[in-house]
Amino acid sequence: MISEITIGDIVIPNCHSIKVSQSINSISDTATITIARNYRELKGHPIMDYIKQGYRVVAKCGYKETGGLNTEFVGFVKYPLGEDAPVVIECDQAYPLRFNTTNISERQISLKSLLERIAPDYKIDCPNTNMGKVLFSKKTPFGILNEIREKYGFFTRILAKEIANEIAVKIAKKNGIAPTIVDRDILTVGFAYGFNPSYQQNHEYMIGGNVKNAKDLKFQNEEDMNVRAKSKVRILGREIPIFHGSTKPDAKILHKEVNPNLNPEEGKNVLVSQYHKVVYTGFTGSIVGFGVPVTRAGDTLTIIDKKHPQRDGTYMIEQVELAFEPCHIERVNTLSFKI
């Protein structure tokens, strides 16, 4: 196993460990990096002289014999821990968005205009949506992103330019086209029921093959779940309830929020999509893979079960927990809905 950490202008090969946490439900990926003890000093100076809060961090790891390093995390030093070896570095992808409060008051504003205003250093990827009236008082960009998630059902992912360009080159090579290279990190904001990152990839796990552990996978049947989804929209000040799913009197009620400004038909379509992210015939839980394929939160994963081929299916990856040490790499993939 090999690794490489870049912090600011220094490059450190062969760190002690890397732990990365990604989730489509979180704005920011996070990482904990432990520097090997033999790097207590660098170029005659304490290693801490080169590691400062806010410095950009690129963490790579992989197998030397199967293609080398893959970029697993790009973010910023949140805080380094300890003057003595080993040095532990906590990293946050959204670090720059957590500062500089702002006040925004607009009678009408598009989502893209709002995002360009609060995150001018990012390339914006979002639907063409009007936010209507907005009022944010003394909010950081990170706080505003959280608020529009709560109020409008949008959620956010950040894709570092280094990872975006690696994926673009891979996709272009596969399709025989020229890659589209970006020079800024990408801020993607979309509806929870239709989130489709521009750089989404599909991966394949075969149970009994390139899977380290599948003990936390559970297969469920939709008809056995007995769930009814419930929400509401507002028409001329009056609340209109909307439902989807089981009509049995003992059904479990799944309360979901939809944009209250949608009409009943649009609201029902959103509710149906949200329902099928929870209620479906297929796998739930998590599955553990190795260093490759390089799965990421927001990618899709096709699971093949040769013993039970009727269970084969493709799922959105909700969360990935990567753990690297010199003796092993593993990634725990938590499944979201079936596609």
Per-residue pLDDT of the chain (339 residues; tens, 9 = 90+): 899 999 998 999 889 999 999 998 899 999 999 987 777 667 777 788 888 999 999 999 999 887 789 999 999 999 876 666 678 999 999 999 999 999 999 999 999 999 999 999 999 999 888 888 899 999 999 999 999 988 887 888 899 999 999 999 988 888 899 999 999 999 999 875 556 566 889 999 999 999 999 999 999 888 888 889 999 988 888 889 999 988 888 888 888 878 777 888 888 888 888 888 888 899 999 999 999 999 999 899 999 999 999 999 999 999 999 999 989 999 999 998 888
CA distances in angstroms from 304 to 203, 204, 205, 235, 294, listed in the order given: 11, 8, 6, 46, 17
Domain boundaries, the chain: 2-93, 96-199, 222-275
From CA 76, how far away is CA 52, in angstroms rounded? 9
CA distances in angstroms from 246 to 86, 198, 280, listed in the order given: 55, 35, 13
Domains 2-93 and 96-199 belong to one CATH topology: no
From CA 146, how far away is CA 26, in angstroms rounded? 9
Q: Are 16 and 78 in contact (CB under 8 A)?
A: no
Give residues with Cβ within 8 angstroms of 215, minimum separation 6: none
Topology of domain 2-93 in CATH is: Phage tail proteins - horseshoe like beta roll fold (2.30.300)
Topology of domain 96-199 in CATH is: Phage tail protein beta-alpha-beta fold (3.55.50)
Q: Please give the order of strands across the beta sheet that includes 154-159.
A: 123-125, 186-191, 154-159
Give residues with Cβ within 8 angstroms of 44, minimum separation 6: none
Tokens of 100: 């500089």
From CA 52, how far away is CA 42, in angstroms rounded? 15
